């Protein structure tokens, strides 16, 4: 009985979703061993994994992994899960987790619990809470298979730095993965200076209430003053005002930042499906009956063209960002 946590790296350490998954694993382990797995992990990644509570990380090294060959990574993770006798394999529910976790579940003939917002039970009898019906309801589910694969919705599990020393790196060389045909990422275009909504701690999103793409600078300026990412409703993405990567909702990205500011967004159920688990929701809408106010913690009934510049000036004065 053990838990395998799939760790993702970024330039300055582990992704926040990985640290959250480590804490969730440690909390639910109840005495079971918790091991991490990383591709081309560095000393910095091991130090961070240890700080959040891991003692051992399986390190899969080699140039071929830098192209993120998802089918091969899934095979390697499945093999590692078998090696450590994992009864639970945890991923963050970000784009990597959504891509690779179902493949691992199929390989292990494991029950699959996607997009969990809470974990209960133990490593050998895991139960989870997850949203259904586009976030309208939460359901408690229990896995009945001997191994379970789960993805954890970002920002709902608190990552706790327990101050542990660097995790020990154990070299792990998966067998026969090179023969598996795999889609490879050949080029990544980074939006320099722009935060991704799925990783951001604060998101300022704009909707059709902005009236046109030329007014999105109001949303961008507020986002800058808060150090936030810019998001969008599907209406404005479909209209070509904003790129699809910014779309939040049922057919866009699911986000759960610490703060979500919805500007000129009505709050259609499909939009709420992607953001209603945000910790603090602020809504700015000139229609006091707009559905977005039913999920908002703070609401401003007003015109975005008046409210946004004033809010930006006031916040910039505090944060010094503009």
Ligand X SMILES: Cc1cc2nc3c(=O)[nH]c(=O)nc-3n(C[C@H](O)[C@H](O)[C@H](O)COP(=O)(O)OP(=O)(O)OC[C@H]3O[C@@H](n4cnc5c(N)ncnc54)[C@H](O)[C@@H]3O)c2cc1C
Of residues 112 and 305, the one with the C-beta less far from ligand X: 305
Helix (H) or strand (E) holding 283: strand 280-285
Indicate the residue among 287 and 297 with the shorter CB distance to ligand X.
Answer: 287
Q: How far is the CB of 5 from ligand X (least distance, A)?
A: 29
Contact 253, 194 (CB under 8 A): no
- In the complex, the smallest distance separating the C-beta of residue 230 from ligand X, rounded to whole angstroms, is 14
Query: In sequence order, which residues have a C-beta less than 8 Å from that of residue 163 and are 6 or more positions away?
Result: 51
Closest by CA to 216, choosing from 242, 253, 234, is 242
- Give kind and range of the element (H or E) at residue 84: helix 70-84
Residue closer to ligand X (CB basis): 137 or 188 = 137
With CB atoms as reference, the residue minimizing the distance to ligand X is: 249
Smallest distance, Å, CB 137 to ligand X? Answer: 18
Q: Give the nearest distance from C-beta 15 to ligand X in angstroms.
A: 23
Contact between 185 and 236 (Cβ < 8 Å): no
Residues in contact with ligand X by CB under 6 A are: 207-209, 233-236, 247, 249-252, 264-266, 268, 270-271, 274, 285-287, 290, 303-305
The distance of closest approach from Cβ of residue 268 to ligand X in the complex, given in angstroms and rounded to an integer, is: 4
Q: Are strands 202-206 and 229-232 parallel, antiparallel or unpaired?
A: parallel
Burial class from Cβ neighbours inside 10 Å (0-12, 13-18, 19+) for residue 80 reads buried
Is 53 or 267 the residue whose CB approaches ligand X more closely?
A: 267
**Least distance in Å: CB of 266 to ligand X?**
3
The answer to whether the beta carbons of residues 24 and 90 sit under 8 Å apart is yes
For residue 178, what are its two tokens?
């090179």
Residue with Cβ nearer ligand X (14 or 230)? 230
Q: How far apart are CA 110 and CA 88, in angstroms?
A: 9
Residue placing its CB nearer to ligand X in the complex, 147 or 312 = 312
Minimum distance from CB of 248 to ligand X (Å)? Answer: 6
Would you say 113 or 304 has its CB closer to ligand X? 304
For ligand X, give the closer residue by CB, 38 or 281: 281
**With contact defined as beta carbons under 8 Å apart, do 116 and 20 qualify?**
no
Enumerate residues 6+ apart whose C-beta is below 8 A from 205. Answer: 219, 230, 231, 232, 233, 246, 248, 260, 261, 262, 263, 265, 275
Minimal distance in Å, beta carbon 204 to ligand X?
14
Return the percent helix, strand and coil in the chain, to nearest 5. Answer: 35, 30, 40
CA dist., res. 171 & res. 129, Å (int): 34
């Amino acid at each position: 009985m053990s838990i395998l946590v799939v760790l993702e790296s970024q330039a300055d350490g582990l992704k926040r979703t990985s640290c959250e998954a480590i804490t969730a694993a440690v909390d639910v382990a109840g005495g079971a061993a918790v091991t991490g797995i990383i591709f081309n992990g560095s000393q910095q990644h091991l130090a961070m994994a240890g700080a959040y509570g891991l003692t051992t990380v399986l390190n899969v090294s080699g140039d071929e992994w830098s192209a993120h060959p998802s089918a091969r990574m899934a095979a390697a993770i499945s093999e590692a899960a078998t090696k450590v006798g994992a009864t639970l394999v945890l991923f963050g529910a970000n784009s990597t987790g959504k891509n690779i976790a179902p493949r691992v579940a199929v390989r292990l003939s494991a029950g699959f619990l996607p997009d969990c917002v809470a974990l209960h039970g133990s490593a050998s009898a895991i139960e989870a809470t997850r949203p259904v019906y586009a976030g309208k309801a939460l359901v408690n589910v229990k896995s009945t298979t001997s191994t379970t694969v789960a993805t954890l919705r970002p920002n709902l599990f608190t990552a706790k730095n327990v101050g542990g020393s660097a995790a020990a790196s154990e070299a792990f060389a998966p067998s026969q993965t090179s023969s598996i045909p795999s889609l490879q990422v050949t080029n990544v275009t980074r939006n320099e200076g722009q935060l991704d909504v799925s990783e951001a701690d604060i998101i300022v999103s704009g909707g059709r209430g902005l009236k046109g793409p030329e007014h999105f600078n109001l949303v961008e300026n507020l986002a800058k003053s808060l150090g936030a990412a810019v998001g969008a409703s599907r209406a404005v993405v479909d209209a070509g005002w904003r790129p699809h990567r910014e779309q939040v909702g049922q057919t866009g990205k699911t986000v759960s930042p610490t703060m979500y500011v919805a500007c000129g967004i009505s709050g259609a159920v499909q939009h709420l499906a992607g953001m209603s688990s945000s910790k603090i929701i602020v809504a700015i809408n000139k229609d006091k009956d707009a559905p977005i106010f039913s999920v908002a913690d703070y609401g401003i009934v007003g015109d975005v063209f008046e409210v946004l510049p004033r809010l930006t000036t006031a916040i910039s004065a505090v944060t010094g960002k503009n």
